[in-house]
Chain A
Amino acid sequence: MALSVQGRLGRHFAILLALSWVVGCQSSERPERMVTIYVSTDRVFSEPVLREYEKRTGVRVNAVYDTEETKSTGLANRLLAEQARPLADVFWSNEPVRTLVLKARGVLAPYRSPSAEGIPPALVDPEGYWTGFSARIRVIAYNTTLVKPEDAPHSVFDLADPKWQGQVAMADPRFGSTSFHVAALYAMAGDEKMDDFFRRLKANGVRIVDGNSVVRDLVARGEVKVGLTDTDDVNVAIEDGQPVAMVLPDATGLGVPVMPNMASLVANGPRPEEGRSLIDYLLSSDVERQLAHSDAVQIPLHAGVPGPKNIPAIDSFEPMTLDFTRAAGRVEDVTGRLAGILGL
């Protein structure tokens, strides 16, 4: 009897092990041609691009997508942790900071893609570690039922005006595209001016929320009148019929903050050739066209590719002239400053 009890236990354990093995081995049944990409660009926008690549080339794309910055610690940490033995071949980032951190830590390898021809030189790394494509803009979103277009703020600095007391929202400036934006502002305008601005913004009752999509929703619901967010977030609300519009801030002055996507080859990735081919595709005009005409409304960087509706072309406004490396180098210091000033 004791044997039968132990036999049953053993059988159950064997079944469990077998199930684990079957599930564990699912991912080892892979076709010969494949490439692995880690993607921080929103999945709803990036997945169709990668599926199209699979369709065109027959190469299977194993993608790992990222969450919004405040929901998990993100793929950059995974790339850093896997550095000694990477699984990824390509990293597709939706903003510059992560890429520049990874470059500085030796996670990336240089690759100059022929598809980069025609992209403005300021958006291509001279050393070849990253290439920009399809840009987003940091914008001021406003509720169209509560704010007339002519009354909307036209500079980030307007948000500290007492006129907007308790009516401004922004995402936590320590994360994501907002961290890039504030680091860029500090790099461009200087510490003294920016510290003062954020103190006044704090005194103005700014609402620090946990993501750009939350800023959009607060503005759309009219809980605040204006907020700092990204073009793609605002566009989702517009397409959803919400009463939201956007202003490109600082078109005169510091310049409009433009954030390109960045494609990079991962150093010592398992399939560098396939990785390079995928990067060539990501930097192509076809992908820029696809991203421009999707809800991502990203601005093409190749000349001649039609831009998204309702978003001005890249050559129709004055972009912020920014050294991305310098801005990324400010992130740690700015993060500490803002935690103190804004009481985060």
Chain B
Amino acid sequence: MNPSSRAVVVTLAVVVFALCSLAPVAYLLAVALADLDPAGLWLDARQRQLLWNTGLLGVGTATLATVIGAPLGVALAHVTLPLRSFLRLALAMPLLLPPYVVALVWTYLCGGRGVIASLAGRDVLSGWTYSLPAAILVLSLVYYPLSMLVTEVALRRIDGRLEEAAVVSAPPLLVLRRITLPLAAPGVLAAALVIFVLSVSEFGVPGLLRVRVYTTEVFTAFAALYDSSRAMLLAVPLLLVCLIVAFVAVALAGERLVSTRRGHGTRPVLLEGWRVPAAVAAILAVGLSLGVPLTVLVREALSVGSLSAVVEGSGRAISNSLVLAAIGATAVVAVALWLGYARARSSGCLGRLADVLFVVAFAVPSTIVGVGLIGIWNRPGLVGTVYGTDVMLILGYLARFVPVAALAIAAVTRYVPVSQEEAAAVGGAGWLRTMTRIVVPQIRLGLLTAWIIAFVLAFGELGVSILVAPPGEATLPIRIYTIIANTPPSHVAVLALLQTAVVLSPLAVLALALPLRASAGARRVSTAAGAREAR
């Protein structure tokens, strides 16, 4: 191994992460501390209640999304489902729906005069429509694909021979419970953490469903009082909650580094008897999380007089969003790959601290990131030439999404045995060559997943974008959210469908095309590994 090239690359990635993700927060924190009012640091009873509500929302959503997503991930990895690629795509699609729009659909369905009330002839649900459980359900239906995708990737990284050996003497469900799931647990837990952070950062859905959460306090300091220092200080308890949850999760996951090798045999059939129930569950999940919202949106959209009048002028915003999100996701993965690798190869306190840092960095409210980025980049001289250009949006994506991508990549990189790198080093391969020929090919599915997650998040990003987008330019979410303020629900439905369709198109092509290539590549890797072993 060549420690110098490894040190240079990882250090570069750390510097980019520090500059993009940590510096804006540090800048704003420094400004806030300069005019610190210690009294403002104490939360009153109302704020403590709001923080409790936020914790419940985060834990509830992370739990429910995992309960829905993880079994679906297991099914996709271990059950021969019909039309699996198509089903995976359909199951992942709810992640593309803006959470606010899903909540809006929920109110159309379950409100006092909603579809269900019309069918039932009376208001049966509205007491529950606007409530914390409803917010948890809505967010879980949007975020469960994260858990599902990460679980599937984690399961596919497990050496099938372990399960083959176990299934000789134990029933499949026991093998699943004692061998497969514990090995996949770090990935599943990482996904749950990400969902927790996404949920506690959300204020649109709780606001619409009248759930009072702490995030609104931070938002209020910005939007009502125009006080970024107070907002920064108010964000500290929220970040502390994320810190505590991250510590708990890291303590639970521990350092379960998998020291097995990727097998070249097939995975044993563990759950073939579950084919029908798994298919039914998957179809139900698609129906509930995708079919129902799309049906309601299409029903609303059909009442629009002229589709072209609604979407007119969106062409440039669409192309901007696609190009910027693609570049952003690529840049995010390019940085996160090295951070994730470094995390996966770190153990003890340093590694756990890195996990916690990623989670907390991801939890920083987007407006704080945006205002911090302006403070750093909007200044005279060379640095200022970047401000006012689209590069600021890329920096915003890096700031917000490198931490989550690094977590995801670290989770899959753990499944690549260190011994393979050691063997390559003994054989004389340099570190970069080992990375590109041994590590990266084995985590390519994880990299693709991280890229897709970063692309979807970047495509839908609003909080930072609206603060740093160059004047005269707009991404699609900016255009949509600036239009819907005074637009009939039918127009909102058309715009939501437009956003979903636009983000789906490139992903559908990727999702349908890449598994074939990935499996072909995997076969080549397996064959090569087999040949080496044979030698």
By a beta-carbon cutoff of 8 Å, the part of chain A in contact with chain B is 1-2, 5-6, 9, 13, 16, 19-20, 23-28, 36-38, 42-45, 60-78, 80-82, 84-85, 87-88, 98, 101, 105, 172, 174-175, 179, 207-211, 213-214, 217, 221-223, 232-233, 236-237, 240, 295-296, 331-332, 335, 339-340, 343-344
Q: How far is the CA of A85 from the CA of B375 in the complex (A)?
A: 10
Q: Is B378 a contact partner of A84 (Cβ separation < 8 A)? A: yes
Minimum-distance CB pairs A-B, first 3: A62-B472, A210-B207, A62-B471
Q: Is B46 a contact partner of A340 (Cβ separation < 8 A)? A: yes
Q: How far is the CA of A231 from the CA of B54 in the complex (A)?
A: 34
Contacts of A16 on B, CB cut-off 8 Å? 327, 330-331, 334
Q: Is B113 a contact partner of A222 (Cβ separation < 8 A)? A: yes
Q: How far is the CA of A272 from the CA of B433 in the complex (A)?
A: 56
Q: Is A101 a contact partner of B46 (Cβ separation < 8 A)? A: no
- Knowing A36-B471, A36-B472, A72-B481, the reply to whether A23 touches B327 (Cβ < 8 A) is yes
Contacts of B228 on A, CB cut-off 8 Å? 77, 80-81
Closest to A230 in B: B486
Report the minimum CB–CB distance from A17 to chain B (whole Å).
10
By a beta-carbon cutoff of 8 Å, the part of chain B in contact with chain A is 46, 100, 111-114, 126, 203-204, 207-208, 210, 212, 216, 219-220, 222-226, 228, 323-324, 327, 330-331, 334, 367, 370-371, 374-375, 378-380, 384, 386-391, 394, 429-430, 432-433, 436-437, 462-463, 466-467, 469-474, 478, 481-490
- Knowing A80-B226, A222-B113, the reply to whether A27 touches B472 (Cβ < 8 A) is yes
Contacts of B391 on A, CB cut-off 8 Å? 20, 23-24
Q: How far is the CA of A27 from the CA of B386 in the complex (A)?
A: 11
Contacts of B113 on A, CB cut-off 8 Å? 221-223
Q: Which among A36, A64, A77 has the greatest number of chain B C-beta atoms within 10 A?
A: A77
Report the minimum CB–CB distance from B301 to chain A (whole Å).
14
- Knowing A24-B391, A44-B483, the reply to whether A85 touches B463 (Cβ < 8 A) is no
Q: Is B224 a contact partner of A236 (Cβ separation < 8 A)? A: no
Q: Is A19 a contact partner of B467 (Cβ separation < 8 A)? A: no
Q: How far is the CA of A66 from the CA of B484 in the complex (A)?
A: 11
Q: How far is the CA of A7 from the CA of B520 in the complex (A)?
A: 24
Closest to B5 in A: A6
Please report whether the interface of chain B is mostly helix, strand, loop or mixed according to DSSP: helix
Contacts of A69 on B, CB cut-off 8 Å? 223
- Knowing A13-B334, A64-B469, the reply to whether A72 touches B462 (Cβ < 8 A) is yes
Contacts of A2 on B, CB cut-off 8 Å? 429-430, 432-433
- Knowing A24-B390, A101-B226, A344-B216, the reply to whether A68 touches B485 (Cβ < 8 A) is yes
Q: Is A74 a contact partner of B223 (Cβ separation < 8 A)? A: yes
Contacts of B331 on A, CB cut-off 8 Å? 16, 20
Report the minimum CB–CB distance from B339 to chain A (whole Å).
16
Q: Is A172 a contact partner of B207 (Cβ separation < 8 A)? A: yes
Contacts of A98 on B, CB cut-off 8 Å? 226
Q: Is B462 a contact partner of A88 (Cβ separation < 8 A)? A: no
Closest to B481 in A: A67
Contacts of B46 on A, CB cut-off 8 Å? 339-340, 343
- Knowing A68-B481, A223-B113, A344-B216, the reply to whether A233 touches B486 (Cβ < 8 A) is yes
Q: How far is the CA of A210 from the CA of B204 in the complex (A)?
A: 8
Report the minimum CB–CB distance from A289 to chain B (whole Å).
19
Q: How far is the CA of A71 from the CA of B100 in the complex (A)?
A: 9
Q: How far is the CA of A340 from the CA of B47 in the complex (A)?
A: 10
Q: Which among B204, B228, B433, B484 has the greatest number of chain A C-beta atoms within 10 A?
A: B484
Q: Which among B226, B370, B472 has the greatest number of chain A C-beta atoms within 10 A?
A: B226
Q: How far is the CA of A42 from the CA of B486 in the complex (A)?
A: 7
Q: Is A213 a contact partner of B486 (Cβ separation < 8 A)? A: yes
Report the minimum CB–CB distance from A36 to chain B (whole Å).
4
Q: Is B481 a contact partner of A23 (Cβ separation < 8 A)? A: no
Q: How far is the CA of A73 from the CA of B112 in the complex (A)?
A: 30
- Knowing A20-B331, A64-B469, the reply to whether A209 touches B210 (Cβ < 8 A) is yes
- Knowing A82-B374, A175-B224, A223-B112, the reply to whether A77 touches B367 (Cβ < 8 A) is yes
Closest to B388 in A: A87
Q: Which of B114, B222, B437, B462 contacts A77 (CB 8 A)?
A: B222
Contacts of A232 on B, CB cut-off 8 Å? 486
Contacts of A1 on B, CB cut-off 8 Å? 433
- Knowing A27-B388, A67-B482, A295-B486, the reply to whether A77 touches B207 (Cβ < 8 A) is no
Report the minimum CB–CB distance from A68 to chain B (whole Å).
4
Q: Is B482 a contact partner of A174 (Cβ separation < 8 A)? A: no
Report the minimum CB–CB distance from B48 to chain A (whole Å).
13
Closest to B374 in A: A81
Q: How far is the CA of A101 from the CA of B226 in the complex (A)?
A: 8
Contacts of B470 on A, CB cut-off 8 Å? 27, 62
Q: How far is the CA of A343 from the CA of B50 in the complex (A)?
A: 10
Closest to A15 in B: B330
Closest to B380 in A: A85
Q: Is B467 a contact partner of A77 (Cβ separation < 8 A)? A: yes
Contacts of A38 on B, CB cut-off 8 Å? 471
Q: Is A85 a contact partner of B378 (Cβ separation < 8 A)? A: yes
Q: How far is the CA of A61 from the CA of B471 in the complex (A)?
A: 9
Q: Is B327 a contact partner of A236 (Cβ separation < 8 A)? A: no
Q: Which of B380, B462, B486 contacts A71 (CB 8 A)?
A: B462
